[in-house]
Amino acid sequence: MNYLVVLIPVALLLGLAGLAAFLWSLRSGQYEDLDGAAERVLLDDDDKPYR
Amino acid sequence: MSCCAPGEARLEFEAPTVAREEILLASRDLGDGTRQTDLSVPGVHCGACIAAVEKTLSALDGVTGARVNLSTRRVAVRWRPLDGNVPDMVGALARIGYPAHLQSFEADRTDPQLSRLIKALALSGFCAMNIMLLSVSVWFGADGGTRQAFHIISAVLALPAVIYAGGIFYASAWNALRHGRTNMDVPIAIGVTLAFGLSLYDTAQGAEHAYFDAATTLLFFLLIGRTLDHLMREKARSAVVGLARLVPAGATLVEKDGTRRYVALPAIESGALLFVAPGDRIPVDGVVETGRSDLDRSLVSGESAPDTASPGSGVQAGLMNLTGPLTIRATARAEDSFLTEMVRLMEAAEGGRARYRRLADRAAALYSPVVHTIAALSFAGWFLATRDWHQSVTVAISVLIITCPCALGLAVPIVQVMAARRLFERGVMVKDGAGLERLAEIDAVLFDKTGVLTLGRPRVANAGEIARSAWPIAVALAAGSRHPAARAIAAAGGAGGADVVFDEVREIPGLGVEGRARGKLYRLGRSAWALGGDAGEGSPEGGSVVVLAGDGARLATFAIEDRVRPGASEMMHRLRQAGLPVEILSGDRAVAVQGLASQLEIDRAAGDLLPSDKLARIRELADAGRKVLMVGDGLNDAPALAAAYVSMAPATAADIGRNAADFVFLHEDLSAVSTAFDIARKAKVLVRENFTLAVAYNALAVPVAVGGLVTPLVAAVAMSLSSVLVVANAMRLHSGRLRPGSAARPDEGRRAPVQPQTATVAGR
């Protein structure tokens, strides 16, 4: 029982971290141009998507 | 052209010229003096294109940055006006081989509905997965305090999912109920609420089972279907919006003192004097004040031959000015113009479509009463038999959950998403899933002529008969003109005109082009004029014959005719095979319409029709119970497109026509029409199969549930299994055999090897 008190919150926190990461990536425009992202890896410029 | 610009980039029309002032009007202010303009660049295909476009734009004075979006084929340009000047972005792109056109920025705003759906999907996915993990341990024998703790954690996790993700379904269900209808979301909303409420009660009572997992998994699965459906429509919509706008956003106003100024369309008052350069479209209805020109009416009225305009003649908004500059006096404001008249007709015409109820909603109308009755009956039955109300409610809920319209909710959208993807690959955009359902039901097809059955781009029909010596002269004369006949001659002659040098080339609107070379006066144009006033033989078919004469002596006679779209006869054949009657409704001259009808073996063809006549014909058919597919492109077709049961437009259509149509096809090939019809029918079959699967599953599962024999584990597994089955069945559409239509065009540019950036920019 005692180990559950630690493990369940840890599991949930990790899940929440994943959810937060996804929402952040969504908000910062990383899914706006998936085809372009695949090609841009070959370009030299160091750039960020427009918001 | 760059390494990879051809292919899809060459939509079969020329992008209209974009005035720099129009760029300013269509840009948005980001604050601190920076403005952003969105351009649609259909030619962008690969990494090298991205580099070329961004480098070229960034090198322009005033541009602070450019960012290509390869998925939407757009580029966002940030710039500052330098001394009030707008950087010539469109020109710069055209010079490196990427035609671009302006994107109104409203179209580019990110879609709030989609981000709401994705966030709901992420949240419900997170909650459902974690609750499922906890549930699994409960099923495998966790008991006592552990079980109770897990139930409480599940309740805490389920609450945000039900409120945030479930909110989408609650809003939709409430909206339907308020208008006295039911839809798919009503049983979903009731099922989720009941399951959640009873689970809360059970948790409070410390009972053995809770259904938080069922409620959240249901939401998660349903949101997948809904998000896919939305993505499909969004993709098609943005592809359609990305096509060039044919009506300008503004016009050049001539002030009383003669100065010219570019103003936005709504600012044009009746009585204003406007300047229309060759190559521009007439912005509002008006009367020509000065100047002579030829006007291309093909998009407005469907007439294929250009018309002459001279002082005093009335012109309609949307006509293309071909040959000479015109000054027109506006007789109507933009919102009272011909275009707006068409919009009014369209709004009045929409009806057949508004009455249509989506298949899923019709299924739900049958389904939800049945399910609710069974659930209510099993509650009553169990209550009478056992007098245990808790047990009775549990059974009723397991009936609601096991019959959860999960599979039903996925049955339609998943097939439509697959069908739309299939069509997308063939250059057909599906704007609405309901359009696919309607397309499968049609029993008559109506076509517009100019621009739909034909390309609206004439060519020289008798190229083989023209004397070889006449070609260079004709090509050199025709090269400078925008008249479609001249373009056809220039295209047919190729680069042959380089060695003839004319001293002065003049274009005389309505008549032709003339020029002097080696002391001789050459004329290319209407036969009466070219032959020096020898009006003896008038041209038999208006503008379809062009004569080349040197000092009044005939050198060659060009027969100009519109080209039938490739794939037209194949499509007719396939439509006839499917037993669909075909008709032509055209605004062009009846003679031309009859000629084409007999060429394509179409029995019924009508010419000289007004927009209201087309509308009347569709109404007549609709009153006779027919379901009509209308394929049209012009402004004059827009009301008919809106009135038809389902409608299609080519990418070359007027903006308003594209917006009114359910389908837009991008390629020249007309076989897109029959391909779309085939896929729609196939999709209908698959939807039926999916419904059958879902109903069969329910027929098996419901008796078990009513008998009170279902544990949560079995219910959850059965539910997921039926969803997987339905999705797998829909996938058959993608792999299924469909005859390889010639419309399919491999996307050759996309796989082109990426070359070093410098080589791309230099080696265009």
Q: Is B460 helix (H, G, I), strand (E, B) or coil?
A: strand
The whole-number pLDDT of residue B496 equals 55
Higher pLDDT, B683 or B10: B683
- State which amino acid sits at residue B145: G
Q: Percentage of residues in chain B with pLDDT exceeding 70?
A: 82
Nearest chain A alpha carbon to B46: A39
> Which residue among the candidates B202, B448, B588, B669 is catalytic per the annotation?
B448
Which range among B77-86, B267-276, B406-415, B534-543 shows the weakest confidence by mean pLDDT?
B534-543
- State which amino acid sits at residue B686: L
Instruction: Please say whether the beta carbons of B430 and B419 come within 8 A.
Output: yes
Domain termination residue (choose one: B515, B532, B564) = B564
Residue B743 counted as domain residue: no
Same domain, residue pair B436 and B578: yes
Packing angle between helix B470-478 and helix B484-493, nearest 10 degrees?
A: 130
B448 tagged catalytic = yes
- State which amino acid sits at residue B271: G
Same domain, residue pair B509 and B546: yes
Q: Is B561 helix (H, G, I), strand (E, B) or coil?
A: strand
- Residues in A 21-40 with any Cβ partner in B closer than 8 A: 22-23, 26, 32-36, 39-40
Q: In the 3-class helix/strand/coil scheme, how is B675-743 assigned residue by residue?
A: HHHHHHHHHHHHHHHHHHHHHHHHHHHHHHHHCCCCCHHHHHHHHHHHHHHHHHHHHHHHHCCCCCCCC
Instruction: Output DSSP code: residue B108.
Output: G
For the cut 90, the answer to whether the pLDDT of residue B164 exceeds it is yes
The whole-number pLDDT of residue B190 equals 81
Same domain, residue pair B58 and B148: no
For the cut 60, the answer to whether the pLDDT of residue B5 exceeds it is no
- State which amino acid sits at residue B440: A
For the cut 90, the answer to whether the pLDDT of residue B307 exceeds it is no
Residues from chain A contacting residue B76 (CB–CB below 8 Å): 50
> Who's near B723: CB < 8 A, 6+ residues apart?
B221, B406, B407, B410
Q: What is the CATH number of the domain that holds B593?
A: 3.40.50.1000
> Who's near B401: CB < 8 A, 6+ residues apart?
B191, B195, B211, B214, B218, B715, B719
Contact check, Cβ <8 Å, A43/B72: no
Among A19, A40, A50, select the one facing B126 at the smallest CB separation.
A19
The whole-number pLDDT of residue B144 equals 80
Distance CA B674, CA B440 (A): 11
Distance CA B303, CA B318 (A): 13
Mean pLDDT value across residues B703-730: 74
The whole-number pLDDT of residue B127 equals 93
Q: Percentage of residues in chain B with pLDDT exceeding 90?
A: 5
Q: Which domain holds residue B331?
A: 250-348
Same domain, residue pair B557 and B570: no
> Who's near B364: CB < 8 A, 6+ residues apart?
B182, B183, B184, B186, B187, B405, B408
Of B70-84, B224-238, B547-561, B678-692, highest mean pLDDT: B678-692
Please list the alpha-helical segments (H only) found in B600-670: 611-623, 638-643, 655-660
Which range among B357-361, B502-506, B558-562, B665-669 shows the weakest confidence by mean pLDDT?
B357-361
For the cut 70, the answer to whether the pLDDT of residue B246 exceeds it is no
Q: B120: pLDDT confidence band, cut at 50, 70 and 90?
A: very high
Q: Is B417 helix (H, G, I), strand (E, B) or coil?
A: helix
Residues from chain B contacting residue A16 (CB–CB below 8 Å): 126
Higher pLDDT, B191 or B135: B135
Higher pLDDT, B758 or B263: B263
Of B179-188, B260-269, B339-348, B682-691, highest mean pLDDT: B682-691
Instruction: Please say whether the beta carbons of B632 and B452 come within 8 A.
Output: yes
ipTM: 0.85
For the cut 60, the answer to whether the pLDDT of residue B748 exceeds it is no
For the cut 90, the answer to whether the pLDDT of residue B612 exceeds it is no
Q: Give yes or no for A12 touching B (CB within 8 A).
A: yes
Q: Is B564 helix (H, G, I), strand (E, B) or coil?
A: strand
Distance CA B508, CA B292 (A): 8
Instruction: Output DSSP code: residue B85.
Output: B
Give just the sign of the alpha carbon dihedral B644, B645, B651, B655: positive
Q: In the 3-class helix/strand/coil scheme, how is B26-76 assigned residue by residue?
A: CCEECCCCCEEEEEECCCCCCHHHHHHHHHHHHCCCCEEEEEEECCCCEEE
Could you tell me which of B98, B84, B82, B86 has the C-alpha nearest to residue B15?
B98
Q: What is the CATH number of the domain that holds B305?
A: 2.70.150.10
Contact check, Cβ <8 Å, A15/B130: yes
Contact check, Cβ <8 Å, B71/A43: no
Tokens read off for B498:
């380089």
Residues from chain B contacting residue A13 (CB–CB below 8 Å): none
Same domain, residue pair B662 and B577: yes
The Cα of A1 is separated from the nearest Cα of chain B by a number of Å equal to 7
Q: In the 3-class helix/strand/coil scheme, how is B468-483 assigned residue by residue?
A: CCHHHHHHHHHCCCCC
How distant is the alpha carbon of residue B720 from its chain centre?
Answer: 34
Tokens read off for B681:
């029918």
Q: Give yes or no for A9 touching B (CB within 8 A).
A: no
Q: B541: pLDDT confidence band, cut at 50, 70 and 90?
A: very low
Q: Quick count: other Cβ atoms within 10 Å of Cβ B578?
A: 14
Mean pLDDT value across residues B669-694: 87
Could you tell me which of B577, B628, B617 has the C-alpha nearest to residue B441?
B628
The Cα of B135 is separated from the nearest Cα of chain A by a number of Å equal to 13
For the cut 70, the answer to whether the pLDDT of residue B322 exceeds it is yes
Contact check, Cβ <8 Å, B72/A49: no
Higher pLDDT, B580 or B731: B580
CA distances from B446 to B619, B640, B645 (A): 12, 10, 11
Q: Give yes or no for A19 touching B (CB within 8 A).
A: yes
Instruction: Please say whether the beta carbons of B463 and B561 come within 8 A.
Output: no
Contact check, Cβ <8 Å, B67/A50: yes
Q: What is the CATH number of the domain that holds B26?
A: 3.30.70.100
Domains in chain B: how many in total? 6
pLDDT tens digits for A1-29? 678 888 888 989 999 999 999 999 888 87
Nearest chain A alpha carbon to B74: A33
Q: Give yes or no for A46 touching B (CB within 8 A).
A: no
Higher pLDDT, B130 or B230: B130
Q: What value does the CA radius of gyration of chain A take, rounded to a whole number of Å?
A: 18
Nearest chain B alpha carbon to A40: B47
The whole-number pLDDT of residue B565 equals 86
Which residue is associated with the tokens 């959810």? Answer: A19
Instruction: Please say whether the beta carbons of B651 and B668 come within 8 A.
Output: no
pTM metric for this prediction: 0.71
How distant is the alpha carbon of residue B545 from its chain centre?
Answer: 36
CA distances from B207 to B68, B81, B201, B705 (A): 57, 70, 9, 19
Give just the sign of the alpha carbon dihedral B284, B285, B289, B291: positive
Among A22, A32, A42, select the one facing B122 at the smallest CB separation.
A22
For the cut 50, the answer to whether the pLDDT of residue B680 exceeds it is yes
Which range among B61-75, B93-107, B511-525 shows the weakest confidence by mean pLDDT?
B93-107
Residues from chain B contacting residue A18 (CB–CB below 8 Å): 126
Half-sphere exposure of B556 (CA within 13 A, CB side): 23
Mean pLDDT value across residues B277-305: 80
Among A4, A36, A42, select the one facing B70 at the smallest CB separation.
A36
Higher pLDDT, B397 or B450: B450
The whole-number pLDDT of residue B339 equals 67
| Residue-averaged pLDDT of chain B | 78
Q: Is B273 helix (H, G, I), strand (E, B) or coil?
A: strand
The whole-number pLDDT of residue B511 equals 80
Tell me what percent of chain A is helix, strand and coil, each rounded to the nearest 5. 65, 0, 35
Instruction: Please say whether the beta carbons of A29 and A36 come within 8 A.
Output: no
pLDDT tens digits for B571-609? 888 888 888 889 898 888 888 888 888 888 888 888 888
Ranges of each domain in chain A: 2-40
The Cα of B165 is separated from the nearest Cα of chain A by a number of Å equal to 14
Do the strands B286-290 and B326-330 form a parallel or antiparallel pair, or are they unpaired? antiparallel
Could you tell me which of B521, B464, B510 has the C-alpha nearest to residue B483?
B510
Which residue is associated with the tokens 């669909």? Answer: B580
Residues from chain B contacting residue A44 (CB–CB below 8 Å): 757
The whole-number pLDDT of residue B734 equals 65
Residue B452 counted as domain residue: no
> Who's near B667: CB < 8 A, 6+ residues apart?
B12, B426, B427, B743, B745
The whole-number pLDDT of residue B160 equals 93
Tokens read off for B675:
């391909």
For the cut 80, the answer to whether the pLDDT of residue B744 exceeds it is no
Same domain, residue pair B554 and B695: no
For the cut 90, the answer to whether the pLDDT of residue B550 exceeds it is no
Among A26, A33, A39, select the one facing B47 at the smallest CB separation.
A39
Same domain, residue pair B512 and B593: no
Best of B53, B63, B64, B69 to disrupt the A interface (most A CBs within 10 Å) is B69
